[in-house]
Amino acid sequence: MNAPLVTISIPIYNCENHLINCLQSVVNQKYKNLEVQLVDDLGNDNSMQVAEDFIQKHPDFHFKILRNEKNSGLSVVRNVGIDNAQGKYIFFLDSDDEITPDCISKMVEIAEREHVEMVCGNVRTIKLESKEEIDAFRLHNTQEKITNNTEIFESFIQGKFPVPSWNKLILLDFLKQNKLYFKEGLFAQDSLQSFETALVLNSVFFFKDDTYIYYLHQDSVIHNRKKKQFDNWITIATEFEKHYQKEQNPERKIQILGYLIDYKDLTLLMNWKAQRNEELWKYSYNAYKKLASFSLAEYLSSDFNLALKKKNFLQNLPTNLGYKIFRKRFGN
């Protein structure tokens, strides 16, 4: 079997403290037919100098530097990776993480054998400062292979389909043909792109071996949330609603609405945990009230469970009352 070319796409932005370990994990791959994109998003540290020094020490490895004209954010970086990739498959790797030595070889073997559009691997999450390993981003799907879009989307809705864009080997033509690009300007760009991918994905394989090491540290995106990020959550929820409004399949329409309500509930809680700011919480709450919610007929139907109906009810109260009940439920 000919080994197909795989593009590994790595964003470079203020990552000088972590980059060498990331690049070394790529060089250590057992799979050799690789092109490795380093997409420079013009940070203000020495990341690119670290990268260039590393490349000089590995002259036989196929590195390719792509430079944005201005700092544009991770969505643009991902899209640059898609547009410039030459591989049959593309794999996104963040610059502060690592992949296991057999990550790409195992994923390619599965993709070629099973003829799937995507292979998802398992993730080890490690707190960098304490070296503690925590249970996050693990695969929860009991099926190895799904070749039906209805089942794939159901898996996504149930939270069994990994949301992050990294640690997925994806058929490049599938992304391009379905125009599955990342929406520019978003902080949590994976949430929307993964949702839109699940809407059209027809085949996926969930590989239970660990292939990716995610390091959680004080510079991680998950720890850095400001008002801009909450605006992004509202933007993503608005995009979910657009898909809900244009969806013609009644069953899928029900799924999308339920997912939207769960998303609003989750991000309101994340909003509070991150900032504990009453004004900011109410701002998000009011924005969410403008989006789709249950009609009286949907409250009375058996299409939605009681827990979801309760969430929807609590999301549509007068703002001050909604805040008061939220604080009583979740405290300080």
299 has pLDDT over 60: yes
Q: Say which residues have a Cβ less than 8 Å from residue 44's Cβ, sequence separation at least 6.
A: 14
The Cα–Cα gap between 71 and 77 comes to 9
What distances in angstroms separate CA 142 from CA 134, 206, 208, 289, 317, one per listed residue?
21, 9, 10, 35, 38
Cβ-contact 110, 207 below 8 angstroms = yes
Cβ-contact 5, 88 below 8 angstroms = yes
Which pLDDT band, with edges at 50, 70 and 90, does 1 fall under? low
| Digit-coded pLDDT (tens) for 244-266 | 999 999 999 999 999 999 999 99
Give pLDDT, residue 223: 45
Return the structure tokens found at 180. 């599955």
| Digit-coded pLDDT (tens) for 211-246 | 999 998 766 554 445 566 668 899 999 999 999 999
The verdict on pTM exceeding 0.85 is yes
CATH class of 6-222: alpha beta
